[in-house]
Amino acid sequence: MLDKYYEDPAMISYGEDIRDWGGAFAIYRGFADSLPYSRLFNSPISEAAIVGSAVGYGLCGGRAVVELMYADFIGRAGDEIFNQLSKWQSMSAGILKMPVVLRISVGAKYGAQHSQDWTALCAHIPGLKVCFPATPYEARGLMTAALNGTDPVVFFESQRLYDMGEMFREDGVPAESYEITIGDTNTVKTGSDITLLTIGASLYKAVEAAKELEEKYGLSAEIINLHSLVPLNYEKIVESVKKTGKVLLASDACARGSFLNDVARNISEMCFDYLDAPPVVVGAQNWITPPFEFDEFFFPQKSWILDAINEKIVPLAGHVPTVDFTSVEQMRKAKAGV
């Protein structure tokens, strides 16, 4: 973002506590030393005003990066995101541009109203590009691509990952500028026996599960992180699933209505003749998010991934399940609405 400020004099950023504290999660730390208040400033506590004014500024030819402190507050800017940000380019036949990046953090330890992954809501709306990087390399490359374009981009960021360094590239994050094409996927680990597809922080649980699968059960897992939800290039996904014949998909979003259900359906159609078992989606429980002390019972864990593989895809010799993934339990939960 700081690089783009020097390239584009019309770029501004604002949100709650952006300037004084460097943002609620210190993303803008140090920016105030380089940028005047007119280009980096605090907003009122009004998500509708934040997004609505960014839409107007974009329509007038400006570039805005604005922030919603939690994904749970998307509803406060529902019309502005779903009807305005997403549609003005199309409604004007491309004459009007919408170079707006809406940064949205996904909480993890702040209870019922501050810990929800609502990526599926934005992915459902035509006209929005939707990103959710899970590594520093992905975050920089995707943000660069978003800032170099003129389309509206909803940019989700997990609060679980703000303090995590780059773990999957030996050379870390390049010092020079680079772009990641929005829609590409990131093959984090190659394997031959099962494909694990992830969104957001669930990548790291999948890495733990893959290690145990290999060391304890002799199964080689390929891990692909979907750092972009919309658009989404299925080429590497299909290639991987055709190779392994098995696929599990995981994210921190509640399983009911998860974007991964749509991905699983597409995989079923594209790879039907190659699958040894149906695709399996592992998500958070379909409950209201509990306090942080119950985190391990709500969000997907390494053990959940192994349990789902054992029950739904391929038996793991000697595995003792911790969570019930049987069809009977699936029906019981659906009937109870949980």
CA distance 269 to 265: 6
Active site annotation includes 227: no
Element (H, E) at 222: strand 221-225
CA distance 238 to 271: 7
Distinct helix (H) and strand (E) counts, the chain: 12, 12
3-state secondary structure of 215: helix
- What is the DSSP secondary-structure string of 35-64? S-TTTEEE--S-HHHHHHHHHHHHHTT-EE
Q: Residue 51 corresponds to which tokens in the numbers above?
A: 């997004």
CA distance 150 to 172: 28
CA distance 222 to 244: 8
User: Is 150:98 a contact under the CB 8 Å cutoff?
Assistant: yes
| Contacts for 28 with CB less than 8 Å, ≥ 6 apart | 13, 18, 19, 22, 40
Question: Can you state the angle between helices 259-270 and 235-244, rounded to 10 degrees?
Answer: 60
User: Is 18:28 a contact under the CB 8 Å cutoff?
Assistant: yes
User: Is 167:189 a contact under the CB 8 Å cutoff?
Assistant: no
Tell me which of 114, 124, 227, 319 is the catalytic residue.
114
| Residue linked to tokens 């950023």 | 13
β pairing state of 63-68 and 100-106: parallel
Which residues are the active-site residues? Answer: 114
